[in-house]
């Protein structure tokens, strides 16, 4: 069981690592900080509740069941962090947000103090690593401690679910998806963890034994609910960035024909080669390098080459924009060839501006690269046709 709990804690905590991939920027954002705090506290709850951890804590302190108030206090802190996260996610006037956050922290700080005090007053000499809630369900002070921590967690999850239902009606897209995932995670926690715990404890009060609900059903349901909530909090924040990096990777690859032609010209400094460079960073460097190369080749631009290629494209039925791109690709290929051969620049260089330099972003460069690729493919096809005809005549 401990291995499963530790694995859940690891998976839970990884989302925090992803959110903090840029620590300097992340710590300035209250929403990111509160998200990471909630995820870290949730991971610590899993770690603390593992039987191996409970046994180690008990042995280290010399107090039987000392791991119980530690785990319950950590769970209460996690419950508080969920409310704080929702407050920051909702946003609003800064003073109001700060006031609500402080109230939530104060309420749960009192709850944690009460949990510790009740444990100190109770008689819990028999160590219980997996079934403490049911074993001590009727023990004075421990009974109140168990109900108190459960009630504090229930209140936080209920508030979270109600707010998610309310806000999901007001938003769309990824944010609504995230709220629905949080709601599902909250319901899994309410039904699978809390209801199981309450039922098992109540059964003990009435002389029945439903301990399996507390020891076998509640832990995995709590893990599943927490992981689902984590996905709901993280998804709306990470998925747009993932999509942007995926598009960046696609544009980076689409620029390959243009970069292959121009790389010998560019003098832009190269970044250190590392496999972990993000696609957008690699795309920005390639974009800057290509613009640097285009600037260096400008003295070799020949308007006559461009105009001949444009007229040929128009005669072939190309649209005006497509003909322009094919003409620019032809002019650029000619300029790169002459620059590579160390020919002298034109006496009267062209003042023509490429389409790619007139639009922002990488869209123009991608269009030019694709035109260059099509032009090269067409040239290769013509060359192959000529060679085949030549070989047929000789045969």
Dihedral over Cα of 220, 221, 222, 223: its sign:
positive
CATH of domain 2-245: 1.20.1070
Half-sphere exposure in the Cβ direction for 367 (13 Å, CA): 19
Long-range contacts of 239-247 (CB under 8 A, 24+ apart): 239/174, 240/174, 244/280, 245/278, 245/279, 245/280, 246/279
The DSSP result for 50-81, as a single string, is: SHHHHHHHHHHHT-TTTHHHHHHHHHHHHHHH
Q: Among residues 205, 67, 210, which one has the least CA distance to residue 136?
A: 205
* Lookup: tokens for 211: 């301990």
Q: Domain residues of the chain, as ranges?
A: 2-245, 260-394
Print pLDDT tens along the chain (395 aa): 556 567 666 766 666 666 655 544 445 677 778 888 888 888 888 888 888 999 999 999 999 999 999 999 999 999 999 899 888 877 788 899 999 999 999 999 999 999 999 999 999 899 999 899 999 999 999 999 999 999 999 999 999 899 889 888 888 888 889 889 999 999 999 999 999 999 999 999 999 999 999 999 998 898 888 888 888 877 887 788 778 878 888 888 999 998 888 888 877 666 655 544 567 788 888 888 899 899 889 999 999 999 999 999 999 899 999 999 999 999 999 999 999 988 888 877 778 889 888 888 888 899 999 988 887 655 544 444 334 334 434 44
Place of tokens 């119980």: 68
């Amino acid at each position: 069981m401990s291995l499963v709990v530790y694995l859940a804690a690891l998976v839970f905590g990884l989302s925090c690592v992803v959110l903090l991939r840029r620590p300097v920027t992340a710590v300035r954002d209250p929403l990111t900080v509160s998200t990471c705090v909630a995820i870290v506290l949730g991971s610590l709850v899993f770690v603390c509740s593992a039987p191996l951890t409970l046994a180690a804590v008990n042995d280290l302190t010399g107090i039987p069941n000392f791991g119980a108030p530690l785990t319950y206090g950590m769970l209460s802190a996690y419950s508080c962090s969920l409310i704080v996260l929702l407050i920051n996610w909702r946003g609003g006037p800064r003073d109001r947000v700060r006031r609500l956050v402080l109230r939530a922290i104060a309420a749960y700080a009192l709850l944690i103090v009460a949990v510790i005090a009740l444990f100190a007053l109770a008689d819990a000499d028999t160590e219980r690593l997996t079934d403490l809630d049911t074993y001590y369900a009727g023990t004075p002070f421990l009974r109140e401690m168990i109900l108190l921590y459960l009630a504090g967690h229930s209140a936080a999850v209920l508030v979270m679910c109600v707010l998610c239902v309310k806000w999901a009606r007001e938003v769309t897209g990824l944010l609504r998806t995230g709220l629905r995932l949080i709601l599902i995670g909250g319901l899994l926690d309410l039904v699978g963890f809390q209801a199981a715990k309450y039922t098992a404890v109540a059964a003990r009060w009435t002389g029945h034994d439903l301990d399996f609900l507390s020891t076998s059903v509640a832990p995995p349901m709590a893990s599943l609910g927490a992981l689902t909530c984590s996905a709901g909090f993280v998804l709306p924040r990470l998925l747009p960035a993932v999509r942007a990096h995926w598009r960046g990777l696609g544009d980076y690859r689409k620029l390959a024909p243009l970069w292959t032609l121009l790389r010998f010209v560019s003098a832009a400094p190269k970044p250190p080669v590392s496999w972990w460079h993000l696609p957008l960073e690699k795309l920005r460097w390639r974009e800057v390098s290509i613009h640097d190369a285009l600037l260096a080749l400008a003295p070799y631009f020949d308007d006559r080459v461009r105009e001949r290629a444009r007229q040929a494209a128009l005669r072939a039925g190309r649209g005006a924009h497509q003909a322009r791109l094919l003409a620019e690709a032809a002019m650029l290929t000619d300029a790169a060839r002459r620059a590579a051969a160390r020919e002298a620049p034109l006496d009267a260089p062209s003042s023509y501006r490429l389409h790619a330099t007139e639009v922002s972003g990488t869209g123009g460069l991608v269009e030019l690269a694709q035109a260059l690729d099509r032009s090269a493919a067409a040239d290769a096809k013509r060359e192959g046709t000529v060679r085949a005809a030549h070989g047929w005549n000789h045969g």
